[in-house]
Chain A
C-alpha cells in the first residue's frame, strides 16, 4: 500500500512542472491560435536563467525568488518574441505562425549554447528541502512535497486570473470569439502579447521549478515538447483544468508504467492519447472547435489554375536542365539533387493534403518513414527482391494512411492534426521499442538498391522520374474532378455536401493518396541512404515538411516543392558554418516576416502587382 501511495505522490509531483508548461501552451493556443513549437525552448531558458539566478541569490529567499524571476525574465523574452516575430504574421494563413516559432527554436538553441556552454548543469538543491520524509514507511523527497503543494496554488492563481478578473474575461472572450472581442473595441494586439508573455512565463516557471529534480541541458527543449503536446491535447486545447487533469493522468500513468511495463513506457502515453481522442475527440475538458471562425483570415484567395503556356515551357526547360545534371554535375551533386527531389516529393505530398485538401497533418512522417520501413523490413526479414520491396513501400504507407485516415477524419482542424500526430508518435514508439524486429534506434542497415540501380546517375534518373512524375500527378489531380471536389470540401463543407459530394470519402481518399506518395518518397529515401532509423518517423521530420509547405506558400500549387528546395538548399550551405542554427533560424524568421504568403505566394504577389501597374 505504502508503495502505491509513494508512486502516486511521485506522479503528482512530476505533474507540477508539466502542468505549468502545458497550461502556458494551452493558454497561448486558446487565445492566439498559435501552436507554439518553441514552447519547450522557453522552458529550457527558464531552467538556465533560474540556474544562474540561484548561483547569485543566497539562501531560501534567493532560491524561491530566483524561480519567480526566471518566470518573469522568460515572460519578457516571450513578449519580445511576440512583438518582433509573431505580430507581423498574424494576418498570414492559419498555422503559418508555427514556421516562425520553428525559427525561434533554432535561434534559442544556439544562443543558449553560446551563453551557458555545452555542459549539462546540475540544478541546485532547494535550501531547507534536502532529504526525505517518510510517508507510510516510504521515503518521499521533501521537494516533491513542496511541488505537490505549489502546483495547485499556481493552478488556483491562474484560475482566479482567468475567472475573476477583467483580463481573464477578455482572455476567455478571445478564446471563444476573437473577432467579436476586436469588434467590441478591445486592443487585440496587446491582449495577444500579454497572453503570449504569460504563457511563456509559465513555461519558464516550470523550467526553473524542476531544477532541484534535475537540471538544465541543451536537449530539454525537445525532450519536454512531446509530453506537453500530449497533455494539452488530452486535456483539451485551451482548457486549464483540462491541462491539470491531463498532466496528473500522464504523470501517474507513467509512474505505474515504470513499475509494471518498464519496456513499454514510450508506447503507453501515446496509447492513452489515441484512446482519449477516440472517445472524447476534443480532449477531456475541451470544447468543439468552431470551424474556421468567421471565414478565412486574410485576403480572399485566387483559385488555383493550370499553368499557362509560358510557365509550362519554362518548367520544361528547367526539367531539361535538371535532367542534364549528370553531364555537368559531379556525382555528389547528383546525390544532393536526389536528396532534394525526395524531400520535395515528401513535402509536396503534405502540401497536397494541406493546400488542396485543407487537412493539416502533424504526423506526415509516419507515411514517409512508414514506407521506408516497409521496404527495409521486407529486405531484412524476407529477403524480398529490391524492386518488389520498393513497390510495396508506397502501398504499405497507403494502407497505413487508409486506416489512420479513417479514424482521424472523424475530427477536424487542430484536433485532426493532433490525432495524426498521436498516431505517428505511436508508430514511432513501436518502431523504437520493438528492437527485435525493427532494430530499435540502431535501425536497419544494408538496404541497398538492386545492382542495376546502384550507379549514382541511374539512381538519380530513377528518382527524377518518380519524384517529378509524382509531383506532376498531384498537380494533375488538383485540377481533376476529384481535385475540385476536394477543394470544394475544403472551402465549404456544407455546400459541397449539398451538391452531393461525400466530403468525408473525398478527404479519406486524398489522405490515402498523400500517404502513398509520402511512402514513395520514403522508399526512394531508404535505398539512396542504405539504412533507416526511427528518426525518419519523428515529430521533427513531420515538422520539417510542415514548415517547408508554409515557407513555400500553402495557397499555391508549387509551395511544397519550392519550399522544400529552398529549405534543403539553405540547410546544405549553412550547416557548414559553426553557428548555423542561429543563422538558419534568423533567416526563417526574416522570410516569415517579409513573405507571410510564403515564398511562392509573395513572389506571385509582386509579379501580379507589376502586371497591374503595366496594364
Chain B
C-alpha cells in the first residue's frame, strides 16, 4: 500500500519534471520575430565592440558601417518589390550577387549567417570567448529558424547567400585603409605640427598614449564617394586676445565648468562612451537604432536598412571628422585655458587623445539622428537606458540615469553639449560637427534604398 503510494507520487513528480522541461524547450523554440533576430545581432555587435580590447571610436564606426551594410544586403531581396541593393551606389563595392530566381530563401537565416560571418571577420582580433559567443548566437537562431523551413535546400541556400554577401563586403572592407586599424592606433613616427593653438598631448588624459589616435584615418575610403568631397568646416582662427572670438569660445567652457548642474554632469558622463569600458559613441548610435526597432517592430528589411544607414552614416562621419581633426589640429580647453586664463583649471572629463575640431561625438550623433529622423519621423519619444546599472561615478559625483527624449535631434544636441559640459569641446567644435554630420547623413538618406 505504502509502496504503491510512493510509485504514484514518483510518477507525478516525473511527469511534472518532464512537462516543465518540454515546455521550457518549447519556450526556447518560439519563432523569433524578424526584428528580434536583427536587434539580437545589433546587441551582439555592440557587445563585441565593447569587449574587444584596444577598440576605438574610429575603428568601431567603420565596423558598424560594414556590419549594417551586410545586414541590409543579405536580406534586401526579401522585399524585392520595394527595396533594392545599394551596393552599386557605394564607393567601389560594385554589384553583389542576386539570389537565384524562382527558388525560396529564408531571409532571417541569411541575415543570421551574414552577421556572424562579418562579425567574426571584421573583429578577428576579439577573444576566443567572444568568438564562441558569436558562434552560439548563430547556432541558436539557426536551430529555431530551421523549424520554419523544413526544406534543407532552402536552409542551405539561405545560409550560403548570407555568408557570401558578408564575405564580399569584408573583402571590399580590406582596401579602405582601416582594415586591422587596431594594430596602428598610434603612429609613433608622426611629426606633429607646432603652431600656436595646436593640440598638445593631454595631461588629464583618457589614454596613456601621447600620440594622437589614428592620424591617417582621414585618408580612408568613405562608404559614399560624395562624402569625401564635402567641404571642410570653417574654424575660428587662433587668438589669445581676451574678447576675441577664439578666446570667447574657451571662455565659455571655462565659465560653464563653474556652474555645471547635476543634470549636466549626468549628461557629460552618460555620453562619454569611453571606448575602454563601453561600446563607443558610434555604438551608442547603433544602440539607439535598436531602441527604435524594438519599439516599432518593423519588417526585416527596414530593420536592416536602419542599421545600414546608421552604420554607414557614423562611419563616414568619423572618417571626415578625423580628416578635419588632423587638418586643423586644434587644441583642447585644457591647453588653452590653463595657458591663458587659469593655470589650475582642469576639465570635468579627461581629454581624449586626439585634436578637438570638429567634435566626433557631435558629428556622428548628428549623422545618426538625421538618418533615424528620415526613417522614423521627427517626433519620436523614447528612453535611452544604455548605461543604467553602471556604478556611480564617484570622482564626478554623478549617477548613470536613464534619459528621455522626444526626438532624435534632441539626442544629437545633447550628445554635442555633453562634450561642452565635459570641458573637452568648445562650442564651434560641436556646432560644425552637428552641421557636417547632417550633410553626411543626408547623402546616406539620398541613396536609392527603394525602387
Chain A complexes with chain B: no
List residues of B whose CB falls within 8 A of some A CB: none
List residues of A whose CB falls within 8 A of some B CB: none
